[in-house]
Amino acid sequence: MLWLSLAKTLVLFILTAIAEIVGCYLPLLWISGKGSAWLLLPAAISLSLFVWLLTLHPNASGRVYAAYGAVYIATAIFWLWRVDGITPRATDLIGVALALAGATVIMLGSRT
């Protein structure tokens, strides 16, 4: 049961990270001249979704933000690879592993 709860939390964190990254990436496209100002509308919607998704977590907000930060790091490195086309370095992957290990400690510790 604990692992199912952690899996649901992880999926929610990943969706939250994607919403945040998209909400920041679209204005970047507009600012860099690679897209129109109309990108700001879906960006605002995506950032609103990001904020709403953060409210769905039952734990204390500070703990949620700390654990979410690690999932954000992992998602950002995945974005770097799949969207920006840059292969992550070994140090990127080690950093992701360390961050996720820390998030796991935080989330498991909050359940005791």
Name the amino acid, one letter, at 75: T
pLDDT for 30 equals: 97
* Alpha carbons 51 and 43: distance in angstroms, whole number: 12
- pLDDT score at 111: 64
Q: What is the pLDDT of residue 10?
A: 84
Going from N- to C-terminal start, the domains of the chain cover 2-109
Q: Any idea of the CA torsion for 45, 51, 53, 57, to the nearest 10 degrees? A: -170
Separation in Å, CA 31 to CA 3, 27, 35, 39, 101 = 42, 6, 8, 10, 35
This prediction has a pTM of 0.84
- Show the CA angle centred on residue 57, arms to residues 51 and 96, nearest 5°: 80
| pLDDT tens-digit map of 53-102 | 988 876 667 788 888 899 999 999 999 999 999 999 999 999 999 999 99
Identity of the amino acid at 81: W
